[in-house]
Amino acid sequence: VPGLVKGEYHFNMPRIEDFSDMLVDICTLVGPALSVIDGVVGMEGEGPSSGRPVQTEVILASESPYALDYAAAAMVGIRPERVPTVSRAAERGLFAAGPGGLDIVGDMDSLCCIKNYDTPAIVSASFTRGKYPVFIENMVNRAAQPKPVFMHRICTGCGDCTTNCPAGAIEMVDGRPILKPDKCIRCFCCQELCYQKAVRIYRPWLLRTLGRGRY
């Protein structure tokens, strides 16, 4: 995804499903012959800016980028079907999802689940997609939406979050960022960009409840 239009993509496709479909479309068009994950040093937590390096000591490769993501997610304790790009690719028949659909070759001991891996808090907010009437889905998803919270105590007031917010949902007031909730599209670019780790993701009670065992 070109860096200069990344924000535009987020703004035009605020739904996780739509954004994931776009990423899968690009991947399908490019058609990589081989995808490689250099996991000698991985990252846990809220990456990239607030993540922490961790020695995972694995290198993974596959002709299918979707199968590769499926295996990598499972290794760190994330349920692969909860990864939006993986689930959308599986729904479109781009790879055979499930352990039985993967042909794994290599050191099987290294491919077991990495224990105590601190996975990100961000998950798909569409818990009810396709299960209930649309108006119920919308109500539940609105109530469960996570949102960024700015930790003014450690914020340096650099303004990177304001400058790079694709929706213009952040304004600087007295040198500190303030969120405009009605404009926020929950792309969390602000959290990704903050090197001071001054942006946290607030997860409402409903999101935490529905998200139990999400991985």
121-160: pLDDT as tens digits: 655 545 555 566 666 666 766 666 788 999 999 999 999 9
Buried b / exposed e across 143-182, counting CB within 10 Å, b at 16+? ebbbbbebeeeebeebebbbeebbbebbeeeeebbebeee
The CATH number for 169's domain is 3.30.70.20
More confident: 176 or 119: 176
Q: Are residues 106 and 7 in the same domain?
A: yes
Q: Does residue 119 lie in a domain region?
A: no
How many domains does the structure of the chain reveal? 2
pLDDT in tens, 2-54: 766 777 888 888 888 899 999 999 999 999 999 999 999 999 987 777 788 99
Q: Are residues 84 and 144 in the same domain?
A: no
pLDDT band at 106 (very low <50, low <70, confident <90, very high): confident
DSSP letter string, 53-88: EEEEEEEEEES-HHHHHHHHHHHTT--GGGSHHHHH
Structure tokens at 117: 């891996």
Q: Does residue 129 lie in a domain region?
A: no
Provide Rg for the chain, Cα atoms. Answer: 18
Decide if 171 contacts 178 (C-beta within 8 A).
Answer: yes
Q: What are phi and psi of 180, to 5 degrees?
A: -100, 95
Q: Are residues 34 and 98 in the same domain?
A: yes
DSSP letter string, 82-106: GSHHHHHHHHTTSS--SGGG----S
Q: Are residues 104 and 181 in the same domain?
A: no
Q: What is the pLDDT of residue 135?
A: 67
Average pLDDT value for residue range 70-99: 89
Whats the size of the chain, residue-wise?
A: 215
Range of the domain at 28: 3-111
Q: Are residues 138 and 106 in the same domain?
A: no
Q: Are residues 9 and 53 in the same domain?
A: yes
Q: Is the pTM of this model over 0.85?
A: no
Q: How far apart are CA 77 and CA 71, in angstroms?
A: 10
Is the pLDDT at 81 greater than 90? The verdict is no
Q: How far apart are CA 80 and CA 166, in angstroms?
A: 28
pLDDT band at 101 (very low <50, low <70, confident <90, very high): confident
Residue 200: what residue type?
R
Instruction: Report which listed range, 97-101, 111-115, 197-201, is most confident.
Output: 197-201
